Amino acid sequence: MKYFDPHIHMTSRTTDDYQAMADAGIAAIIEPAFWLGQPRTHVGSFEDYFLSLVGWERFRASQFGIQHYCTMALNPKEANNPDVADGVIELVQLYLEKEGVVAVGEIGYDDMTAAEEKYLIAQLQLAIDHELPALIHTPHRDKKNGTLRTLDVLRDMNFPPHMCLVDHNNEETLAATLDAGVWAGHSIYPNTKMDEDRMVKLVHEFGSDRIIINSAADWGVSDPLKVPKTAAKMREAGIGDDVIAKICWNNPVEFFAQGGRLDLDKIEVAPKVDQTRLHEGNSVLRGQKPVVDA
């Protein structure tokens, strides 16, 4: 079975992760634009990061046979920085047009401030203007309140529910998220947020419609193999392969293809691995024999 991880920050991960992901059957990923773990101090830092999402990371992933797409946005945390916020929004309008960008994201609340709300609304409007789906981050602190507030904003804006993926759900938020008609993402982590066993319970209770899972692996303690691992737990719990394939492949493909930027034919074909190709003169190899698919 092939897997799709639609929320993973590869910029923080090594090629060991890429190799493990490829070995585990992960064939496609989406890397959302987010913060880097510490605040950026220049608008230009965002631009160079955006360029790497449509350049180096896409190339690096292809060297392991993985199709890489990304999303673009001013993330919730850095929306609070008045020195960069407006400049980044201007950049986002341009970078949403670049090849490989499938959605606006990650947007949403972090601390529930007025600035976060302002830029959440502004970027939902950008999603409408650019006819792209939106990937929404829900806060990790005061999550239930933050999620409900997010759903209110979406309703007030008449944002089309089928174009919205509200991520990082848990037992407290999933019912409301699904009731709002939006897609529901779940980030499976080693010790925090959601885990495999609890995810299996949610699937038993709520089914698989509009259910998406991801690893949200980043610079913290996280695991880029959580999608195949959760699939394995689902299998163990007696959930059928068709349901697992729906959650781990068909659902993310269907959601993100709505912007017209994800080629439905291309996504089904594993890219040929050719590690002799260089990007900006940099190979991912350091002395190993290059893998070249026939």
Partner 1 sequence: MDAQDIDARAAAFADAVQGPGRAWLGSACGGLSAGVSATKIRVAIARAGRELGDTLVDVTAVVQDPALAGVWRACDAGRAALVLRAATVLESEAWLRFLTDAIRRGELSEQVSLLRMLPWLPDPAALTDVAVDACRTNSEPVFAAIACENPFPAAHFYDGAFDQVVIKAIFLGVSVERIVGLADRVTAETARIATDFADERRAAGRSVPADVDLVCNLAAKRSGSNNP
For position 129 contacting partner 1 by CB under 8 A, the verdict is: no
Nearer to partner 1, 51 or 292 (CB): 51
For position 269 contacting partner 1 by CB under 8 A, the verdict is: no
For position 280 contacting partner 1 by CB under 8 A, the verdict is: yes
Asked if residue 234 lies in contact with residue 252, where contact means CB atoms within 8 angstroms, the answer is no
**Buried/exposed code over 169-190 (b: 16+ C-beta within 10 A; e: otherwise):** bbeebbebbbebebbbbbbbbe
For position 43 contacting partner 1 by CB under 8 A, the verdict is: no
Contact mark string toward partner 1, 48..67, x via CB under 8 A: ---x--xx------------
Contact mark string toward partner 1, 225..264, x via CB under 8 A: ------------------------------------x---
User: Tokens in use for 50?
Assistant: 């955006």
Nearer to partner 1, 99 or 179 (CB): 99
Nearer to partner 1, 99 or 265 (CB): 99
Give CA angle at 199 (102, 2), nearest 5°.
50
For position 131 contacting partner 1 by CB under 8 A, the verdict is: no
User: Applying CB under 8 A, which of residues 42, 118, 266, 277 lies at the interface with partner 1?
Assistant: 277
For position 47 contacting partner 1 by CB under 8 A, the verdict is: yes
Residue 280's alpha-carbon distances to 33, 46, 55, 67, 160, in angstroms, are 22, 20, 9, 19, 40
User: Tokens in use for 122?
Assistant: 């502004």
For position 97 contacting partner 1 by CB under 8 A, the verdict is: yes
Nearer to partner 1, 281 or 287 (CB): 281
For position 265 contacting partner 1 by CB under 8 A, the verdict is: no
Minimum Å gap between C-beta 47 and partner 1 is 7
Q: Provide CB contacts within 8 A for 44, sequence distance 6+.
A: none
Q: How far apart are alpha carbons 220 and 34 in whole angstroms?
A: 13
Nearer to partner 1, 92 or 120 (CB): 92
Q: Which amino acid is at 258?
A: Q
For position 282 contacting partner 1 by CB under 8 A, the verdict is: yes
Which stretch in 11-19, 32-40, 47-55, 166-174 sits in contact with partner 1 by CB under 8 A? 47-55
**Taking the alpha carbons of 234, 103, 54, 219 in that order, is the dihedral positive or negative?**
negative
For position 279 contacting partner 1 by CB under 8 A, the verdict is: yes
Q: How far apart are alpha carbons 190 and 172 in whole angstroms?
A: 19
- What phi and psi, each to the nearest 5 degrees, are found at residue 217? -60, 135
For position 125 contacting partner 1 by CB under 8 A, the verdict is: no
Asked if residue 82 lies in contact with residue 116, where contact means CB atoms within 8 angstroms, the answer is no
Contacts with partner 1 by CB under 8 A lie at 47, 51, 54-55, 90, 93-94, 97-100, 261, 277-282
